[in-house]
Structure 1
């Protein structure tokens, strides 16, 4: 599954780079999403496979923190990129004549940079808080990767600050992204219902269906994995 995921992501990047008609905001966001998925899966799967295949169940604390940083960083980035893609679809459907102006190349670059910097600053606090807690010499993480909450639960101290911060990231950062995605699609639905032709309806649904599936797959799994802890 990991090899299939990596090969498909690299294929997407190769096709978008080679095909000039794909040099548009929607596909630049898709490139960012593909790169995010590539790093996100690579952050956790190699260690996961070594655990299952070679029974290599130990990980250094610094390596664990590094893995945790990249997993949560690119998870937040993916959430932000999905929100940006929702805004792109909103402009493309509700105000198509201004699409190239509103989402010019420099605007897309600024959005991508903002997503990276915001994610980096938010998740850096995870590491600072996690590193300050005292831990016993032997710890067992009940997961296949170093999730923030799984690591913090092993600390020999009151970790309410880390728990509340984790909830803040889940509900405020990702929750805000979900709100703006919902807002974008509310406006898109209003525009769809004003269309009179069946072809326009089908074209709009065809454009948005893959993005909607990605949103549901990402946010549902993220909420489930976070709230179970």
Structure 2
């Protein structure tokens, strides 16, 4: 299969690219960081094709003419401040990366898949798109969009033999997610994963491999993956201050 992976230069994207190339697939990896992609190319060889691009300004003419699987992995969270203290520029960056870029790339790929008469789209959501937590504001909303977007794509594509899945990971170590969220505060980022057995990028890569190798008549609509140590914790109630 010919597979397009966004955000290939680190975390999930790197593990996904490595796993799928090792399984014999051809992977086109999109990312901004040329040096990281070059290193991945040296490691994976001729079946990995780097595409250097900022997805928020992507030129669809650089896409290959056949894409069997699109994995919309690229995304980010910025900041953990409550909404009234959040940076508006951070909100716009998350919207542009997590929503606008995904929409634009999917729009570019869909005609190719419809013409082929077969295809698979896997959109990386997040448990934050289902369970609210303080500071997730726009990040959580952007991931909720991904889930709803996938549902509506599946409806529009009925009868066209194209599968669409939302894969929603929970707490995952071994990525740059928290380093980016906390804007380079590596100690704060490290503390998020101390003393917990979080899921790993390889866990997500293995899950994606399973999804794309299912028979074409099987579509997993939504798949949530949390580490055993994580749960949704239930609703909370804020009491009035007394005295």
Would the TM-score normalized by the shorter structure come out above 0.5? Answer: no
Higher relative contact order (CA 8 A, sep 6+): 1
Structure-2-length-normalised TM-score: 0.28
Q: Rg: which structure is higher? A: 1
Structure-1-length-normalised TM-score: 0.29
| Structure (1/2) with the larger strand percentage | 2
| Structure (1/2) with the larger helix percentage | 1
